A and B are shown apart, each in its own frame.
Chain A
Amino acid sequence: MNIILRRTGFLILLTALLFSCRKDKVIPEPENITAVSGLYVLNEGNWGSNKCDLDFYDFKNSTYKRDVYKAANPEVTLGLGDTGNDVKAYGSRLYIVVNGSNKLEVINVKTAKRIGKVDIPNCRNIAFYKNKAYVTSYNGYVAVIDTAALTIAAQINVGRQPEELVVVGDKLYVANSGGYTSTNYDRTVSVIDLTTGTKIKDIDVAINLHRLKADSYGDLYVSSRGDYDKIGSNLYVIDTKTDAVKKKFDIPAGNLAIHKDIAYVYSAEWSNSAGAYIITYNKINVKDEVVLSGSFITDGTQANIMMPYGIAVDPASEDIFVTDAKDYVTPGKLHCYTSSGKLKWSVTTGDIPAQMVFVK
């Protein structure tokens, strides 16, 4: 019963009786599962829905908790916000890039309590270097955040609509998409010298770049989304010693996670000829840079995934985690597979489960 009801007497009471009163929202109970690892899952939520929140898998208690940000920060108006796009741990903190709310949210990695936030318009992804956070903004720059003060210390201009970024040595690499102009996509990876904070180079790769991951051999794996029509997605390798493209895999690539010598790559791409989405789960040996045969899910359970949307590999157990965004408008799923590709367990997440981060 709400306050209005108590105050306004007969008419409203009658109304309430006739039509049942408003109910309070129920926070879902944690779901019990058995597993070997634990992690944060960022549910993006639909654009404009303000349904972004973090789920947390607690490996000690084997529980999967929904909406841990809201539970830890009930006083934050409207919660974590709208359309989370990236989450990473750095030191004792977790940094969440909330694209639709134009902010970087900083929380305690253990308690999920809010430490602060930094407003960054149209922010996308995050990387760290020497107590500074680097956040891409679709407005064409990387915001340099002082993690102690939680303020923007500088802006470094890069290409159009930059997406993922990664630090290798003293250099920051930024994948530019140019996604706002479908007739003239950006094609470059910008290279920033972190010692001087200036852009030193643009590496021409392919149109509409998106994912960017580093392996342990000084190579970068960068994905191109293509033009969603005639040009399909693809995966390229940049050698950071020469800052040049050294290989093109010619496989569809939507997202990837690299663990030790293996890159796990999935793709869901519309095919005009098939009239359907073609979903693939590939493995690449990053040491020899060759595509390995077969799917990384081996027990046939990939048929249950409608729309793979996030991937992570547990560095301890080597379990593979894949999220399923389904039709984007219903709650998603998190699936855990063994390193040999057998499904261990699945759990229901929030809307559009995407980025994941393992925490100690």
Chain B
Amino acid sequence: MFACFCPFWTSAQVDTSKVQRLDEVQINAKKNNFILNSPTPVQLIAGEELKRINSLSVADAVRYFSGVQLKDYGGVGGLKTINVRGMGSNHTAVFYNGVQLANAQNGQVDLGKFSLENMEEISLYSGQNSNLLQPAKAYASASMLYLKTVTPKFEHGEKHQFKVGLKGGSFALINPVVNYNYRFAERTFFNINGELLNANGKYKYRYRDLAYDTTVVRHDADIFAKRAEVGLHHLFRDSAKLQLNLYQYNSERGIPGAIVADKFRFSQRQWDDNFFVQTSYETVSNKRYQLLLNAKYAYDYTRYIDPDIKLIDGFLDNRYVQQEIYFSVANQYYITNFWKASLSTDYAKQDLDANLENFAHPTRDTWLLALASEWHWQRFKLQANVLRTYVNDKVQTNIPAGKKTKYTPTVLVSWQPLAASELRLRAFYKTIFRMPTFNDLYYTLIGNTFLRPEYAHQYDVGLTYSKNFSGTYLKGIALQSDVYYNQVTDKIVAVPGASLFRWSMSNLDKVEIKGAELNLQSFWQFNQVTAALKVNYTYEEALDVTPNGTAYRNQIPYIPVHSGSATANANYKSWGANYSFIYTGERYDQKANISANYVEPWYTHDIAFHKTFGGKKVNYRASAEINNLLNQYYDVVLNYPMPGRNYRFSIYANF
């Protein structure tokens, strides 16, 4: 039976709550089935596994996915963005409980800001989620990262649940966490989760060359952040679900710059204030007609200062306010028992205000309409959808980018050739685009309102396979492998003006990406020891094929040809150990693949130990992590040194 070896099954060994244990096994069995059945590649980390891997934020966790390059500027507070399958970070949409975390200003979501404390599951979809009942936004990017927060689970008669925790370690990190779950009616749960994060961000890094060996301390990477999340869950009598989430994040941080000769200190700082409230209502899944409603309001404030830029009075002090309102209605209907269709429509309004001179104050209205259908014949599945995007930009000054209407298609297929074998073949084709961001279009002196959307065309063929064993130490294996070909056309790049002061955005470049991903999981049991081993490998040839370009057929910057990860965990009674290895091959930091632009491969080894203890009333969980065990000094982004060996300890009490 499939559920026997799902990757989270081992969690049952360490969890003390019976209810949770059963749930976890069932839910995760379903999830693993879902992964292997999906016509698009899905990778996910959830539940116990998420607690075990050496991670502080969502950014740390996504490093374990194949096909992912995390752009990490280093340290606790450094910017961390995700680039999937070489298409660029603006082609990955990030969803929080099913609703996109949009950023019209620069199109990027800093995953370092999202704590794992309140996360239940992180999943990455290449192409899209093949679920038909989803907002139109879920069709509107080349890849999607879904973050799902914890839904409280209560045992019969239980009303209150508390969790307090404390993390600390290198970089003078102090990170207290509290969580309170309250069941105020049979099927109504309330949940509040909060944390403080403080770190001075200091760490040593080392530069070595033929004739020097210099160790320096990274300064100005301090951070102080506060996060509070409130969740309200209601399950109706007929099992329809209503959920409300409030999210509030404030931070002040140093912005450590590029380390260059004679410059090791930085005075730039940033303040962030992010707030959103979102709600979702979903009807019962076993009905012929199903409805999903979502709504959101978001407010994001950023203040950035650069005391080195001296103005007539004072220094550079920029403030940005971005607001969004969003509504989505998704409907799914079973036409016959093998044919279903869905129609989703989303509306979003975003606007950006800034204290910049001559600022355009852009407002963007987006209407999305997605029509999707799925046919299911025995072991063959075909899904197709078309997305209509209508975007209208307005500005208060200067020229708006105006109205655009685009239609983009997706086709997904999956086929299980033999009923007796868990081998499935799959393929998908998708064309989608990313809109130019407000920065691309309207940034004073740089923006170009004539920009076209940047397209990503994806072709993917893959297989999934799983097999269970009995009577052996090896209990099961699961495999996914895909080969893909992507084209990014009309890629938006900054091109030079008459001086370095005057760059301009242009739809100039074209990129061709040929890749292969291999994802292998195995599950073991040796008497009382359970173990899992996961290996990911990505091959990616991402070539600049811009006609008449300066770097024709060179590998694009920061995409390694080879990258991968391996994780192993073992559990014995209440003890657990986790080891992970991440490898990123050689890269180039600029277009030309020459020695001056060569960036060394890096690889880190991380280990962690966990122990649960305590009784019926209070149970504890303690862990110790050592990251970058071999103290390798490396840059992910040129001249942004990453931390060497560092430590993290945590203790949680649940009662």
Partners in one complex: yes
Which of A's residues lie within 8 Å of B, judged by CB? 4, 8, 11-12, 15, 19-23, 25-28, 44, 46-51, 74-82, 98, 100-103, 117, 119, 121-122, 138-140, 160, 179-184, 210, 225, 228-229, 233, 254, 267-270, 275, 277, 306-307, 325-331, 350-351
List 20 additional A-B contacts (Cβ < 8 Å) besides A48-B258, A103-B261: A4-B632, A15-B603, A19-B585, A25-B596, A50-B638, A74-B209, A76-B212, A77-B212, A80-B261, A82-B258, A100-B260, A101-B262, A254-B499, A270-B502, A275-B450, A326-B550, A328-B500, A329-B591, A330-B591, A331-B592
On whether the beta carbons of B595 and A26 are closer than 8 Å, the reply is yes
Comparing B278-286, B306-314, B514-522, B610-618, the segment that makes contact with chain A is B306-314
On whether the beta carbons of B498 and A101 are closer than 8 Å, the reply is no
> CA separation between A100 and B445, bound complex, in Å?
22
On whether the beta carbons of A160 and B261 are closer than 8 Å, the reply is no
| B521–chain A nearest beta-carbon distance, Å | 19
> CA separation between A22 and B630, bound complex, in Å?
15
* Chain B positions 403-456 with a Cβ under 8 Å from a chain A Cβ: 444-445, 450
Chain B residues lying within 8 Å of A254, measured Cβ to Cβ, are 498-499
Chain A residues lying within 8 Å of B257, measured Cβ to Cβ, are 48
* Chain B positions 562-621 with a Cβ under 8 Å from a chain A Cβ: 562, 564, 581, 583, 585-586, 589-592, 594-596, 598, 600-601, 603, 605
Chain B residues lying within 8 Å of A80, measured Cβ to Cβ, are 261
- CB closest residue in chain B, given A326: B550
Chain B residues lying within 8 Å of A330, measured Cβ to Cβ, are 550-551, 590-592
On whether the beta carbons of B262 and A117 are closer than 8 Å, the reply is yes
| A64–chain B nearest beta-carbon distance, Å | 15
The reply on B355 being an interface residue by CB < 8 A is no
On whether the beta carbons of B500 and A4 are closer than 8 Å, the reply is no
- CB closest residue in chain A, given B633: A4
> CA separation between A140 and B311, bound complex, in Å?
10
* Chain B positions 493-511 with a Cβ under 8 Å from a chain A Cβ: 495-502, 504
| A35–chain B nearest beta-carbon distance, Å | 23
> CA separation between A80 and B499, bound complex, in Å?
22
Q: How many residue pairs at the A-B interface have CB separations less than 8 Å? A: 166
On whether the beta carbons of B589 and A49 are closer than 8 Å, the reply is yes
Closest 7 CB pairs of A and B: A81-B261, A82-B260, A48-B258, A74-B211, A78-B261, A50-B260, A330-B550
- CB closest residue in chain B, given A350: B596
> CA separation between A350 and B562, bound complex, in Å?
28
Main secondary structure of the interface of A (DSSP, over half): loop
Q: Choose among B262, B312, B502 the residue that contacts A81 (Cβ–Cβ < 8 A).
A: B262
On whether the beta carbons of A50 and B258 are closer than 8 Å, the reply is yes
Chain A residues lying within 8 Å of B312, measured Cβ to Cβ, are 160, 181, 184
Chain B residues lying within 8 Å of A275, measured Cβ to Cβ, are 450
The reply on B316 being an interface residue by CB < 8 A is yes
- CB closest residue in chain B, given A81: B261
Name the residue in B310, B450, B495, B591 with the highest tally of chain A Cβ atoms < 10 Å from its Cβ. B310
Given A267-B498, A328-B500, A329-B590, answer yes or no on A28-B262 (Cβ-Cβ < 8 Å): no
Selected A-B contacts with CB under 8 Å, 14 pairs: A12-B630, A15-B603, A21-B601, A48-B638, A50-B639, A76-B261, A77-B207, A101-B261, A101-B263, A117-B262, A306-B550, A307-B496, A330-B590, A351-B596
The reply on B358 being an interface residue by CB < 8 A is yes
| A8–chain B nearest beta-carbon distance, Å | 6
> CA separation between A77 and B215, bound complex, in Å?
10
On whether the beta carbons of B311 and A180 are closer than 8 Å, the reply is yes
| A54–chain B nearest beta-carbon distance, Å | 13
Chain A residues lying within 8 Å of B310, measured Cβ to Cβ, are 138-140, 160, 180
* Chain B positions 331-349 with a Cβ under 8 Å from a chain A Cβ: none
* Chain B positions 251-271 with a Cβ under 8 Å from a chain A Cβ: 257-263
Q: Choose among A25, A103, A182 the residue that contacts B445 (Cβ–Cβ < 8 A).
A: A182
The reply on B214 being an interface residue by CB < 8 A is yes
- CB closest residue in chain A, given B589: A49
Chain B residues lying within 8 Å of A306, measured Cβ to Cβ, are 550
On whether the beta carbons of A225 and B357 are closer than 8 Å, the reply is no
> CA separation between A233 and B357, bound complex, in Å?
21
The reply on B210 being an interface residue by CB < 8 A is yes
Chain A residues lying within 8 Å of B632, measured Cβ to Cβ, are 4
| B577–chain A nearest beta-carbon distance, Å | 15
On whether the beta carbons of B212 and A75 are closer than 8 Å, the reply is yes
Chain A residues lying within 8 Å of B357, measured Cβ to Cβ, are 181-183
Chain B residues lying within 8 Å of A46, measured Cβ to Cβ, are 590
Given A19-B603, A180-B316, answer yes or no on A325-B496 (Cβ-Cβ < 8 Å): yes
On whether the beta carbons of B261 and A121 are closer than 8 Å, the reply is no
On whether the beta carbons of A28 and B595 are closer than 8 Å, the reply is yes
On whether the beta carbons of B311 and A181 are closer than 8 Å, the reply is yes
Q: Choose among A11, A76, A327, A331 the residue that contacts B596 (Cβ–Cβ < 8 A).
A: A331
Chain A residues lying within 8 Å of B581, measured Cβ to Cβ, are 15
On whether the beta carbons of A78 and B498 are closer than 8 Å, the reply is no
On whether the beta carbons of B596 and A51 are closer than 8 Å, the reply is yes
On whether the beta carbons of A182 and B498 are closer than 8 Å, the reply is no
| B345–chain A nearest beta-carbon distance, Å | 36
| B262–chain A nearest beta-carbon distance, Å | 4
> CA separation between A326 and B212, bound complex, in Å?
33
